[in-house]
Chain A
Amino acid sequence: MTDLAWLTVAEAAELLRGRKLSPVEYARALIARVERHDGKLNAFLRFTPELALEDARRAEAEIARGAWRGPLHGVPYALKDIIDYAGLPTTAHSKILKDNVAAADAPVAAKLKAAGGVFMGKLATHEFAIGGPSFDLPWPPARNPWNRDHFCGGSSSGAGTATAAGFVPAAIGTDTGGSIRNPASMCGVAGMKPTYGLVSRRGVLPLAFSLDHVGPLTRTVRDNALVLDLIAGHDPLDPGSTSHAGEKCTAQLDRGVKGLRVGVIRHFYARDMQADPEMAAGIDAAAKKLAELGAKVSEIETAPLGEYIACNRTIMTSEAFAIHEQWLRERPQDYGTLARERLMSGAFVRAADYVNATRLRRKMADAFHALFSGIDLAVTASSMDPPCRIDDPKAVEHTYLRQARAAFNLTGGPALSVPVGFSKAGLPLAMQIVGKPFTEALVYRVAQAYEQATQWVARHPALPTAA
């Protein structure tokens, strides 16, 4: 049997359903792996092996009596620690909330429980999903499994690290300006920011209400689609939740890309920001591969990346400051340095500037969606640079905003980061595949065709062992 650490959700589901793999054996293997390696990677902020074994034993009994619940039944998963799991603290990786025990499950956690998943614990995040990587918090920052001296991205940092390290085949993150796709890009896994409102945000600590999204990180595209299908759905108690019932995410997975029109937003990474040459070459090669597979690939133009980023950040920092104002008044010293500075940048944004940013958002989204009369999907960069060293604050600050993800929190449609290779230093490279709202199935279809035509997902990092 394959090393259990590298089983995909889809592979594990087949083995578990056919009783060729015990959920308890599977959970024990991943628990041992976390215990062996996470002391050097810090993916888990709260590791819960006892809960995992409880879930695994339940799954084993249910599957034995023929009550298989679906593809996550008996499969380990973990949650970014801004998502409520009843009975455990939701800390946001912050001293401010270190004793904030959740009274109830967030709907996303409840759905994964109902699907029979095996809960492994809460994952590291940048403080309040904005401040990191930080060394002045109660817990250390997660590190990149491909090289622990390098940044693993964020803010869903533990989710990227845990999936790439083979600690779990699936994790749930959140994304306000790129926080699912950044760790996915840096760690060489698939990370989906779904359409706004497709997954309930209730029970998830907000960063910015109008930009927050919840979504999965997995090692393969198929797994990502499987998990998103499990967690999507209307929540009448989340004001941003959509009742739009789209196509199943897995519906088009194996149809290939022949005839699909793919627009490459090259100016984001070639003109508006100059991507690292290895990153740009990786994305260009991926676009060429899609053309070889039969897609009609052309370059398209949208608004300059700087305008999207200014608009996203104006809205994000205004909404975030409104959420954090009271704590910043009463206990500013309890924030880490990075979160405090980033959150305070919303302190003096004028009301007119916030409103104008939301007006621009509508115009930019409408203009972007109009491009889809001539294309089916868009492709562009995710990060402009491969992961920098985590202990180099200047490099972290420099690369933090060198990204093309925030644009799609504004436009609201699905945006998936997938690996497109590795740098000469052995660190992951990535691109984004972007659709108009509710076209997740099409985005996954293109990503799947690309993944199948390349071998990036077959590579795994060699992990350091905890002392």
Chain B
Amino acid sequence: MKDDLTLEEIRGMAAAIGLTRLTDEHLQQLLRATQAARARRAALPIATLGPADEPAHVFRPDDGK
């Protein structure tokens, strides 16, 4: 995914997931929000993960019994 998004690109991405009622002001917000999310992604130390590192919550078939 490219780092520098334009308003038109974010409009297309939004439409693709059904966010078709966003105004230009909303799309500017989505653009900023997406850039912030990508900055957070870059801050995740995922290189420290090994293949067997499990997620924090995993399915347990006895849940709720």
Contact = CB atoms under 8 A, between A and B. Distances in A.
A358 B49 contact: no
B46 to A, nearest CB: 5
B40 interface: yes
A347 B49 contact: no
B30 A311 contact: no
A423 interface: no
A363 B49 contact: yes
Nearest to A338: B29
A345 B40 CA distance: 10
Query: Is chain B's interface secondary structure helix, strand, loop, or mixed overall?
Result: loop
Interface in B38-62: 40-41, 43-46, 48-49, 53-57
A347 B14 contact: yes
A157 to B, nearest CB: 22
Given A328-B19, A340-B26, A359-B49, A353 B34 contact: no
User: Which range holds the interface residue count of chain A?
Assistant: 35 or more
Interface residues of B, number: 33
B37 A345 contact: yes
Contact of A347 (B23, B30, B41, B53): B30
Q: DSSP majority for the A interface? A: helix
Contacts of A333: 21, 23, 26
Nearest to B30: A344
Given A329-B18, A359-B49, A347 B64 contact: no
A353 B18 CA distance: 21
B22 to A, nearest CB: 6
Contact of A314 (B17, B26, B44, B64): B44
B53 A363 contact: yes
A138 interface: no
A358 B33 contact: no
A311 B55 contact: no
A277 interface: no
Contacts of B40: 309-310, 313-314
Interface of A: 210, 236, 239, 303, 306-307, 309-311, 313-314, 317, 325, 328-333, 337, 340-342, 344-350, 353, 355-363, 365, 410
Interface of B: 1, 13-14, 17-23, 26, 29-30, 32-34, 36-37, 40-41, 43-46, 48-49, 53-57, 63-64
